[in-house]
Amino acid sequence: MAVTVANCCFSALSSAFKSHPRLATSTCHSYLDGRSLKASDNKNRAPKKRSSASPPKSNAQKLPGRLKDDKFSLYGDGISGKGDAGRLQSTGFKSFGAQRKEKKEFQLDSREQQVEPGNFQDATFLNAVVKVYCTHTAPDYSLPWQKQRQYTSTGSAFMIGDGKLLTNAHCVEHDTQIKVKRRGDDTKYVAKVLARGVDCDIALLSVESQEFWKGAEPLRLGHLPRLQDAVTVVGYPLGGDTISVTKGVVSRIEVTSYAHGSSDLLGIQIDAAINPGNSGGPAFNEQGECIGVAFQVYRSEEAENIGYVIPTTVVSHFLNDYERNGKYTGFPCLGVLLQKLENPALRACLQVQSNEGVLVRRVEPTSDANNVLKQGDVMVSFDDVHVGSEGTVPFRSNERIAFRYLISQKFAGDVAELGIIRAGKFIKVPVELNPRVHLVPYHIDGDQPSYLIIAGLVFTPLSEPLIEEECDESIGLKLLTKARYSLARFKGEQIVILSQVLANEVNIGYEDMGNQQVLKFNGTRIKNIHHLAHLVASCQDKYMGFEFEDNYLAVLEREVAMAASPRILKDYGIPSERSDDLLEPYVDSLGDNQAIEHDFGDSPVSNLEMGFDSLLWA
């Protein structure tokens, strides 16, 4: 899990809010792909978690009508631009290679390469590790019709054969240009992204140039290592231009929080030094087999030398998913909030005879489990593997691991058989596993956030990048609560907000509105931003009425508003009144599935914010 010393800038938030990666202000946030951020916040505060995913914010001039203070100053070591470097504090990244099976399946390679321990300098497989140069242009979520100022970063990648490279997804996030350079070569070659796994922080690249692949030997995937096994991390970190090698041992293997994707997957903890630029580089065992991809670090004043590697099991899952579907579909989830059953009285009350099982506390409405599981069920097995009272399952010879590990071994659309105890009776039920549906997404698909401008009123879906960019105070406690504690009630549901008002005589009296949820349009509850665009386009009434949170009402005369819109767009230099995705015809696949007012749940919707150890999402 990537963590930094961070500070909460919204004093009214609860401790669960403060622990969320998007609610913390990093004292200094450093990226292992060569990026660094520094905040002007107080440095002497308690450590908080922070995602390593978000790119540096742009200092580009904002459009008139939006005054905001950016939390972060720009750039630092390893990135072009100006800004204070600050005290380096967090997140490391690295990557590893994969081997292709003849039949399209990726397997772990048990063959040992003849490499003497400690003789890595002359090992030929080091030539498979390349340096990545990426130019990023991130969306501006506050002004969604434009981009932020571009920045550059460097990272690492490695060859896996068939003209492909592996690196970290965060290394090539919002890429506009990617170039790679081999060890000992002075030529950079253009690379393209074939697949991007945000949840597992892996990206698959291709290089078309045949010259780049001359004499190349792809890496092989090794098996999952054991504790105290020696590990060597290879990459191109800051501090020099040539390849770098650091050594350590495997400290721990367990389900780990992946900061970039806000997911929980198997991770390898190591004590080898990981520095900015190591992201996407491989980690080797003593036999020269690639056993993982370096991707994040944990740094605080209480701990040191804690780095994380994406294991071969996760990489193979990513590659097999891509081969099966022609694209990456993601890791599935069960969609239930579970409570541990350590207390004997609690187990007796639920009529659980043995020391096993976890209690179903909440089921996501969009998951298939919502059709078969009920609150109060006790899940005691997953595909005939017994689940312990602490939510763990057997792992290897004499180890145990979080139950979520079994779910991560499945693919989207797979069916698992759950053994549950309901009212004292044991039954088995099938559940289809699919990727989780987020009401407030952590990442936005595509290059542009959705937006709709009506007579200067700018509407956009609420997202975690928008929350981070806007700063917590301007978003407001109620929206933050919905983002942290509310679940999507149907697929496609969004929280649509009025992000700002572009001042004009047609919207007099509304110009100070901002970051408020719009609930209804002319009495019809809004399902998502596309639904709102459809309602506005099909409106024939004299007035257009927007009902917001806290019963606030904004009304525009339709013909006057539509006539004023082109002039407002011209005055503010906006190319279009809506994003490209809203130009497509609206298809109401949701039927009459109207979203009612969101009830706040009794716990956060992500394990990253969970402050109570006895509760966990699967």
Catalytic residue IDs: 170, 201, 279
What is the Cβ-side half-sphere exposure of residue 353, based on CA atoms within 13 angstroms?
A: 4
At 413, phi and psi to the nearest 5? 95, -10
**Alpha carbon distances (Å) from 295 to 20, 119, 250, 303, 534:** 20, 25, 15, 18, 42
- Radius of gyration of the chain from Cα atoms? 25
* Cα–Cα nearest to 314, from 168, 413, 175, 445: 168
Task: Give the separation between CA 521 and CA 524, rounded to whole angstroms.
Answer: 5
Helices vs strands, H then E, count in the chain: 9, 35
Contact 233, 280 (CB under 8 A): no
DSSP state of 416: E
Whole-angstrom distance, CA of residue 39 vs CA of residue 56: 11
Q: Which residues contact 530 (CB under 8 A, 6 or more apart)?
A: 450, 581, 582, 584, 586
**Alpha carbon of residue 76 to chain centroid:** 23
What does the alpha-carbon distance between residue 457 and residue 507 come to, in Å, rounded to a whole number? 8
Q: What span, in angstroms and rounded, lies between the C-alpha atoms of 471 and 467?
A: 6
**Distance spanning both ends of the chain, measured CA to CA:** 17
3-state secondary structure of 97: coil
Using CA atoms, how far apart are residues 479 and 483, in angstroms rounded to an integer? Answer: 6
Task: Name 134's bridge partners.
Answer: 153, 178
**C-alpha to C-alpha distance for 287 and 48, rounded to whole angstroms:** 38
- Choose among 23, 332, 279: nearest CA to 156: 279
Q: For residues 238, 242, 247 and 253, what is the CA-based torsion angle, rounded to 10 degrees?
A: 60
Cα dihedral angle (592, 597, 601, 606), rounded to 10 degrees?
70
> Interior CA angle at 289 toward 283 and 293, to 5°?
25
Pairing state between β 175-181 and 164-167? unpaired
d(Cα 571, Cα 91) in Å, to the nearest integer? 42
CB 32 within 8 Å of CB 294: yes
Instruction: Give me 449's structure tokens.
Output: 């956030």
DSSP 8-state symbol, 221: B
Amino acid letter, 179: K
Closest CA to 528 of 442, 446, 451, 434: 451
State the CB neighbour count (10 A cutoff) for residue 200: 27
Cβ neighbourhood burial of 83 (10 Å; 0-12, 13-18, 19+): middle
C-beta separation of 281 from 235 below 8 A = yes
DSSP codes of every residue in 136-175: E--B-SSSTTSBPPPEEEEEEEEEEETTEEEE-GGGGTTE
